Structure 1
């Protein structure tokens, strides 16, 4: 059975060396639930996924996509939000996004 989480927070713009990324930083209780899910999957499967990521089905507004969330060193998790999602939901950096995550 997959677990579903709800979170809201601001879209952040991050400038990398080769590209600009938009992401949602997941913190608090939701971050703890994702971390627990990752630990259980690691025990079950005997190893970690790349970068410690967790597969998810993400939904913002009417846009739904399969992706992964990635852990930060501070205990938060990052969800990259692509240009197609930003455009479809009329979001820009600084806007509050309401996210539903299904942990896979």
Structure 2
């Protein structure tokens, strides 16, 4: 298992309304693409464990062709627990089996 730690800004998807994401940095995305041995799931997703502050959860990252990176959905439960709003830039950990 490998863990990537980075800061990223929360943003809301205009096409889905209520979904909130953060974009993984390009260098992290590149390393995941190069090293991942997981079979891709629906929409090309990769299962990960994510953590912001004291809150951790199992989720998936999804390829975003517009941004040319992976995006991580951040559910309301996490944002509420960590006191996060749109535009905030939390420190994030994403762990996955490569």
TM range (shorter): 0.7 to 0.9
TM-score w.r.t. length of structure 2: 0.88
**Bigger mean CA offset, 56-65 vs 5-14:** 5-14
Q: Unaligned regions of 5+ residues in structure 1, if any? A: 43-47
Between the aligned partners of 1:50 and 1:97, the Cα distance in structure 2 is 27
Of Structure 1 and Structure 2, the greater helix share is in: 1
* Structure 1 stretches of 4+ moved >2 Å: none
Equivalenced residues, count = 96
Structure with the greater alpha carbon radius of gyration: 1
Q: Does 1:95 align with 2:88?
A: yes
Of Structure 1 and Structure 2, the greater strand share is in: 1
TM-score w.r.t. length of structure 1: 0.83
Q: Per-residue deviation at 1:20?
A: 1.1
Alpha-carbon contact 2:51-2:94 (below 8 Å) kept = yes
Q: Unaligned regions of 5+ residues in structure 2, if any? A: none
